[in-house]
Amino acid sequence: MFFKHPVYGKACHTFIKRIEENDITGFVDEFVLNEVFHKLMVTSIVNRCHCSPVQAVAVVKKKPEILNEFPPLWEACDMLKNIGVNVIHGPFFSDSIEIAHRYNLLATDAVHVAAMKRENLVDLATNDTDFSRVQFLHIRRPE
C-alpha cells in the first residue's frame, strides 16, 4: 500500500528498509504521520466509491461508519505506528510561521523544518527541491 508510487515507491521502500534494519536512524514529525493517515483514508474512499478526494470527505461526513469497511486502512495505520522511526512531537505552529517566512516555504514544509530544528537534525531525505532554500539542511535524495 505504501510503496506503489511509480516514481518514488522503490526508493521509499529501500529507505524504510534501511531504518527497519537499523542501518540509519529515522525521525518523523507527527504531522507527517497525520498526513499519511489522512491520505490513506481518503484514497481508500476514492478507490471504493470512485469519487474525487473532495467528494471522499463528504462521503465520510454523510456516512462516518464507512471507515469501518476498510480493514487494510487500519492495518496500514498499525504498520505506521510500528515502522521503527523516532516521532518528533509538536506543537510546531509558532516556529513554523517564522521558518515559512524566512525560507519562503509552504506551511506544511515549514512544520517539518521546525520539527527538525527542535531536534537539531540536519539530514533530510526528500525529493522536494523547496527544502534546498533552508541553508542548515543537508538534502538526501532517495534513489
* pLDDT (tens digit per residue) in 104-133: 999 999 999 999 999 999 999 888 999 999
142 belongs to a structural domain: no
Average pLDDT over residues 7-16: 76
Residue 3 has pLDDT above 80, yes or no: no
Average pLDDT over residues 20-37: 88
Domain containing 70: what range? Answer: 1-8+30-85
Exposed / middle / buried, residue 111 (Cβ in 10 Å: 0-12, 13-18, 19+): buried
Average pLDDT over residues 15-41: 87
Q: What is the pTM of this model?
A: 0.77
34 belongs to a structural domain: yes
35 belongs to a structural domain: yes
Share of the chain above pLDDT 70, in %: 94
Average pLDDT over residues 69-81: 85
Is the Cβ–Cβ distance between 3 and 69 less than 8 Å?
Answer: no
Name the domain count of the chain. Answer: 1
2 belongs to a structural domain: yes
69 belongs to a structural domain: yes
Residue with cell 498526513: 35
106 belongs to a structural domain: no
Residue 87 has pLDDT above 70, yes or no: yes
Quick one: pLDDT band at residue 4, thresholds 50, 70, 90?
low
